[in-house]
Amino acid sequence: MRVLFTTYPEPTVFQPMVPLAWALRTAGHEVRVAAQPLFADTVTAAGLTAVPAGRERTNTWRRLLSLDPAEAEADRAGLPSPYDAAVRPVEDRAELCAGYERMIEHGHKLNNFALVPGLVEFARAWQPDLVIWEATTYAGAIAAKACGAAHARFLWSLDVFGVTRQRFRALGPGPDPLADWLGAYGRKYGFEFGEDLVTGELTLDALPASLRLDANLDYRSMRYVPYGGPASVPDWLRRRPDRPRIGLTLGTSATEQFAGYTVSVAEILAELSTLDVEVVATVADSAALGPIPDNARVVPFVPLDALAPTCDVVIDHAGPGTFLTVARHGVPQLTVPWTFDEPELAARAAAQGGSLTLPGDRATPTAVREHVLRLLTEPGFRDRAAALRKEIHALPAPNDLVTELEEFTAR
């Protein structure tokens, strides 16, 4: 069959899709990945065939963030409205409507408007059997409906989108900005609005059950398989350390999209220098840290899937790709979350028992040191991290999901 993947141009939301795209490809199916033209090189670097669609050659959302850094920082903390309704009680339908209106104007339209016409044109010409779309790339659902393909939504973290939608609809009838926006595309391309435009005919979810937010939809579980782009393993990483190793990685979004990390890496490194440990920190600009302690190694990048299994503890931001990469190796984590659903994912992981969490605004160097010591010395954390690892590895691998997708598409 022909399978069309589509995403907005952010590596962190595209990369989790790559193992499934390759599973379908190696099973003999034709696979294409459609995205805005600026993203074609990222797709082809993953060994996949890119379809440049739309006219935008810049990431509109990132450009707007750079034009108003103050607003970007204000919106950075936690889930924005309406998606905070996925993790807190909301009884005011008007509040969620206002949240949807703002998110459509300042987020979803920016990520989809330029993509829709070209994607529909390609889908009608190529005639995919199945479209798999990143959870906010509604252009994929629109293109699938326009060409008569089956379609599945791909989650890269907690399903705050599906749960919010479920809670919004439970508040009763009334204005519906998301249905109005997507329904206008339906009228243009010859179909009626349906909830599958928001939540897919099927949802692919890589989170294990102990961490998941469930919107009572047709979910299909898939084991998370790390892919972070082209990488090589440095020589020093091939040898086991003599002392406990602490990994420190805070993701790329903090420095590429926002003003910087929410914690002081330099101060944390200084505090951890008082412990008999080795620290490996991935920091884009190490020069800004000043003197590096003797027990620390600072590098701009190292493949996390190679680093994590050599660590005794990893300090990270609870970005879903980072968290799951570490978790699949059974390594205890100290999470310092701040952005979007990181705080909720971190809280769920801490409740599971294999990690500790400190919100970014409370992660003082002293607190980080104390939490790291607990993770190193209390065996319960490693036991629970091992249990989470077992849960992750019990999920179907991407290759095991291919038959399910073939049967779903045939139906």
Q: Which two tokens stand for residue 350?
A: 């801490």
The whole-number pLDDT of residue 58 equals: 59
In the chain (411 residues long), the average pLDDT of successive 10-residue segments reads 96 96 98 96 97 75 57 68 94 95 93 95 98 98 98 97 96 96 98 97 96 93 96 92 95 50 87 96 79 93 96 96 97 95 96 94 93 97 98 98 98 94
The whole-number pLDDT of residue 287 equals: 60
Cα distance from N-terminal residue to C-terminal residue, the chain: 13
The DSSP code sequence of 236-291 is: GGGS--SS-EEEEE--SHHHHTSSS-SS-HHHHHHHHTTSS-EEEEE-S-GGGG-S
Distance CA(217)–CA(27), nearest Å, equals 27
What DSSP state is assigned to residue 108? I
Nearest-5° angle of CA 117, CA 122, CA 125? 125
360 in helix, strand or coil?
helix
Yes or no: domain 2-223+395-410 corresponds to CATH 3.40.50.720: no
Sign of CA dihedral 108, 346, 307, 157: negative
Residue 188 host element (H or E): helix 177-189
Q: What is the pTM of this model?
A: 0.93
The whole-number pLDDT of residue 119 equals: 97
Residue 32 host element (H or E): strand 30-35
Please tell me if the domain spanning 2-223+395-410 has the same topology as the one spanning 235-393: yes
Find all residues with CB under 8 Å of 119, minimum gap 6, and list them: 6, 34, 53, 54, 139, 140, 142, 143
Q: In what order do the strands lie in the sheet with 150-154?
A: 50-52, 30-35, 2-6, 130-134, 150-154, 203-205, 219-221
The whole-number pLDDT of residue 257 equals: 46
Residues paired with residue 316 on neighbouring β-strands, in sequence order: 249, 335
The whole-number pLDDT of residue 254 equals: 41
The whole-number pLDDT of residue 123 equals: 98
In terms of C-beta distances under 8 Å and separation of at least 24 residues, what long-range contacts does 296-304 make, across chains too? 296/269, 296/272, 297/236, 298/269, 299/234, 301/231, 302/231, 302/233, 302/234, 302/237, 303/228, 303/231, 303/232, 303/233, 304/226, 304/228, 304/247, 304/249
Residue written as tokens 């190696």?
26
Helix axes 69-76, 60-67, angle to 10 degrees: 110
Name the nearest CA neighbour of 254 among 336, 369, 313: 336
CATH level 2 (architecture), domain 235-393:
3-Layer(aba) Sandwich (3.40)
Distance CA(273)–CA(290), nearest Å, equals 14
212 in helix, strand or coil?
coil
Residue 6 host element (H or E): strand 2-6
The whole-number pLDDT of residue 251 equals: 73
What DSSP state is assigned to residue 23? H
The whole-number pLDDT of residue 77 equals: 72
The whole-number pLDDT of residue 214 equals: 87
The whole-number pLDDT of residue 255 equals: 41
Work out the number of other CB atoms within 10 angstroms of the CB of residue 247. Answer: 24
220 in helix, strand or coil?
strand
Work out the number of other CB atoms within 10 angstroms of the CB of residue 65. Answer: 18
Residues 134 and 154 sit within 8 Å (Cβ to Cβ): yes
For the chain, the domains span 2-223+395-410, 235-393
